[in-house]
Structure 1
Amino acid sequence: MKIGIMSDTHDYLPNIRKAIEIFNKENVETVIHCGDFVSLFVIKEFENLDANIIATYGNNDGERCKLKEWLKEINEDNIIDDFVSIEIDGLKFFITHGHHKSVLDLAIDSGLYDVVIYGHTHERVFKEVNNVLVINPGECCGYLTDIATIGILDTEKKEYKEIIIE
Structure 2
Amino acid sequence: MKVCIVSDSHDRADVLAQAVHAARQRGAEAVIHCGDLIGAQSLKPALEAGLPMHLIHGNNVGDTQALHRLSRTSGGQVQYHGPDARIELCGRRVFVVHYDDYGYAMACTGDWDLVCCGHSHRAEVRRVEAVRGGSSWLVNPGTVAGLAAPRTWVLGDLATMRFEVHELAAQAGVGASA
Q: TM-score, normalised by structure 2?
A: 0.84
Q: Deviations over 1:102-159 (max 9, x none)?
A: x4343122121111100111011101011210000000000211x1011110111111
Go from structure 1 to structure 2 and tell me whether the alpha carbon gap of 1:55 and 1:148 turns closer, same or farther (over 3 Å shift).
Answer: same
The match for 1:123 is 122
User: Stretches of 4+ moved more than 4 A in 1?
Assistant: none
Equivalent-residue separation in structure 1 for 2:12 and 2:141 (angstroms): 16
Q: How many residues align?
A: 163
Identity, in percent, stands at: 24
Larger CA deviation: 76-85 vs 53-62: 76-85
Q: Distance in 2 between matches of 1:60 and 1:53?
A: 19
Q: Using the alignment, how far apart are the partners of 1:72 and 1:165 within structure 2?
A: 31
What amino acid maps onto 1:86 in structure 2?
I
Number of the residue aligned with 1:69: 69
Q: Which residue of 1 aligns with 2:37?
A: 37
RMSD of aligned alpha carbons: 1.6
Corresponding position of 1:20: 20
Q: CA deviation at 1:17?
A: 2.4
Structure 1 counterpart of 2:91, one-letter code: G
| Whole-Å separation in 1 of the counterparts to 2:43 and 2:77 | 15
Q: Report the TM-score when normalising by structure 1.
A: 0.90
Contact 2:40-2:66 within 8 A present in 1 as well: yes
Gaps of 5+ in 2: 130-134, 170-178
Structure 1: segments with no counterpart, 5+ residues = none
Structure 1 equivalent of residue 98 of structure 2: 97
CA distance in 2, matches of 1:106, 1:16: 27
Cα contact 1:20–1:48 (8 A) shared by 2: no
Are 2:178 and 1:162 aligned?
Answer: no
Taking the aligned partners of 2:49 and 2:61, their CA distance within structure 1 comes to: 20
